[in-house]
Structure 1
Amino acid sequence: MGEFDLIDRYFKRPARQADVGIGDDCAIWTPRASHQLAISTDMLVEGRHFLSTVDPARLGHKALAVNLSDLAACGATPQVFFLSLALPRLEESWLDGFSHGLFALADAHGIELIGGDTTQGPLNISITVMGDVPTGQAILRSGAQAGDDLYVSGHVGDARLALEAFRGLVGLPQAIFESARLRMETPLPRVALGQSLRGMATAMADISDGLLGDLGHILRASHVGAVIDWPACQPLLAASQTWPCPEALALTCVLSGGDDYELVFTAPASARQAVLDASNRSATPVTRIGHITSDTQLRVLDSQGQAIDHGLRSFDHFA
């Protein structure tokens, strides 16, 4: 099987949204009127972003999910995507699983593969997604205001907990490990919540490298600070609901663990009911974990209102 046979067998589909899809030198796609484009690219490298033992169907899911999460963070609607794939060798069982996982998530979000590239080399997956958002309604990182509430969607920290188990640094009951591993390998992009928050969230980012780091992007862009209420954060770690997670490990997983792909966002205190309504409409739980301040400090407070000296950092590829 050659390169073009691979594309035809596993990745080529009839064009639905694109004017011209896979098969020409360029894809042709016409965006919707009165909308702005939202574009994001993410790369997954074996050994850096995923383990060699990951199920290929889960990897196909995650490769697209991390990109859809970026669109969710802007309140955008996914439309089309491009896939560039470097493979060390042709393994039909791997390609079959990967493409099934990829397209299952694509179909769930109505997004269409319209182009890309394939080559031989170390396993490397790069996806570019394109979506749109009504003109002027994109949610950026730069709009947080002092007094805003601070929220996180879903659960945060379980992916890091699974990684700690893979590293042999913590022993987990089998059921807890499998649940945490599922969170690490098949994150759920919060696209519906992102769209529901248009017009009420003042700033938003997805949590890819850790809550502290990704919230830090919002704070720097908005020139504000934040206070995180640690007791409010503890339920975010799903595993802790049924397993007694040590406090230091919970802090590490929730505050600096990556690979969650949840949303961290701010909204005025007056919008609390509207945020709850958006949560219900999108069937996505949200937790209020603190508030935005006028200074530029990021503080984590314990149940006594005292600052926690945690010394944690989020993931950085080059640090």
Structure 2
Amino acid sequence: MSGEFSLIDKYFAHKQQNRKDVILAQGDDCAIVAPTAGSHIAISTDTLVAGTHFLADANPAQIAHKALASNISDLVAMGASPAWVSMGISLPEINTAWLERFSNAFFKLADYYGIQLIGGDTTKGPLTITLTVQGTLPEGKALTRHGAQSGDWVYVTGQLGDAKAGLDVILENNISADTSLNQELQRRHFEATPRVLAGIALRDIASAAIDISDGLVADLGHILKRSKVGARLNVAALPTSKELLQFVGSRALAQQYALTSGEEYELCFTVPEANRGQLEVALSNTPFTCIGQLTGTEYIELHNDDAPVDWQLDGFDHFKGNQ
């Protein structure tokens, strides 16, 4: 891309103070970091593509927030503390107004969570953002998907379903007569809050964890598959917002949104009976809800309190959309 290095210098270089564990950041062929002794490094890479994860004319500040928040959420699901990020970005053209808003929002969120941009690349092409995030955690403390056991309890953080409602507004699949409601749901779609403190607090409490990026049914299914267990969920316990209920108009539909909404970036985690009493203190600053219990069936049973629910639901597939 013409002007690539001046673009990097203007919008992405020297925007943050170096973390103490960053020896060399941008400006050379590689960054150099120095993790503390006794730490493991968690690494995740994710790509957001215009037309798949966001519309090309979406607010660049919201795109930046979504890109970084979704990647931080992957670290959170493993119990890692965010540390470093590299970014590859392709742009159809240099748009200074777009880049200014994007970079400002990116560094605002990065600084809030103490994560430093240490390198990356820019090129000309379809609007695409690829981030590689890295975080640290004590040896042997990683949360995984394969530690759950039958009898463990299933929890989620926050509220579910708003991201799908926001996507409906963006795609004009469903729009409320209340303009402020539409705007709020659209904001919630883009501006997830990674549950960093919760992920760290759950290291010694949860038996398994995952972040909700493809929908609760799909993502919990990954835990069930890896752990070889099943789950019985109470849809009446699903945490949904009053805004979602107002938007969809029925509690049953709000519950279906909660089960299938992708890109929520809340945590779904399982806890053994012996550890349940620790949650109130450990997650004192994070809303969380028990929604069911693991079983030995290796599939998900849905119930409304004690009444069976026969909903055929899938999660979110980036190539198909919500099912």
Compute the TM-score of the two structures, normalised by the length of structure 2: 0.93
SS at match of 1:252: helix
Q: Equivalents in 2 of 1:160, 1:149: separation in Å? A: 25
Is residue 205 from structure 1 mapped to residue 210 from structure 2 by the alignment?
yes
- Could you give the per-residue CA deviations for residues 94-147 of structure 1, whole angstroms, max 9, x where no partner exists? 101100111011100111100111000000000000111100000000011111
Shift of 1:244: 6.4
Q: How does 1:87-236 map to 2 (within 5 A)?
A: 87-172=91-176, 173-233=178-238, 235-236=239-240
RMSD: 1.6
Matched-pair contact (CA < 8 Å) for 1:236–1:254? yes
1:287 maps to amino acid: T
Match of 1:290 in 2: 292
Matched-pair contact (CA < 8 Å) for 1:256–1:315? yes
Matched-pair contact (CA < 8 Å) for 2:23–2:34? yes
Matched-pair contact (CA < 8 Å) for 1:237–1:254? no
Assess, with a 3 A threshold, how the Cα gap between structure 1 residues 256 and 84 changes in structure 2: closer, same or farther: same
Shift of 1:243: 5.5
Q: Equivalents in 2 of 1:223, 1:107: separation in Å? A: 39
Q: How does 1:18-33 map to 2 (within 5 A)?
A: 18-33=22-37
2:234 maps to amino acid: D
Q: Which runs of 5+ in 1 are unaligned?
A: none
Match of 2:10 in 1: 9
Which among 299, 302, 305 is matched to residue 300 of structure 1?
302
Q: Percent identity?
A: 43
Assess, with a 3 A threshold, how the Cα gap between structure 1 residues 145 and 238 changes in structure 2: closer, same or farther: farther
Which region of structure 1 is more displaced relative to structure 2, 8-17 or 192-201? Answer: 8-17
- Could you give the per-residue CA deviations for residues 197-223 of structure 1, whole angstroms, max 9, x where no partner exists? 110000000000100000000000100
Matched-pair contact (CA < 8 Å) for 2:39–2:137? yes
Matched-pair contact (CA < 8 Å) for 1:54–1:185? no
Shift of 1:183: 1.1
Shift of 1:261: 0.3
Q: Equivalents in 2 of 1:59, 1:318: separation in Å? A: 19
Shift of 1:239: 1.7
Shift of 1:248: 4.8
SS at match of 1:236: coil
Q: Which runs of 5+ in 2 are unaligned?
A: none
Q: Equivalents in 2 of 1:165, 1:243: separation in Å? A: 10
Assess, with a 3 A threshold, how the Cα gap between structure 1 residues 241 and 270 changes in structure 2: closer, same or farther: farther
Matched-pair contact (CA < 8 Å) for 1:153–1:287? yes
Q: Equivalents in 2 of 1:31, 1:187: separation in Å? A: 28
Which region of structure 1 is more displaced relative to structure 2, 132-141 or 263-272? Answer: 263-272
SS at match of 2:283: helix
Q: Equivalents in 1 of 2:34, 2:261: separation in Å? A: 39
- Could you give the per-residue CA deviations for residues 235-289 of structure 1, whole angstroms, max 9, x where no partner exists? 3245246566324531331111101000000001232231121211xx2100111
SS at match of 1:132: strand
SS at match of 1:138: coil
Q: Equivalents in 1 of 2:244, 2:86: separation in Å? A: 38
Matched-pair contact (CA < 8 Å) for 2:165–2:247? no
Match of 1:273 in 2: 277
- Could you give the per-residue CA deviations for residues 142-187 of structure 1, whole angstroms, max 9, x where no partner exists? 0111111110001111010111223333232222222211111111
1:202 maps to amino acid: S
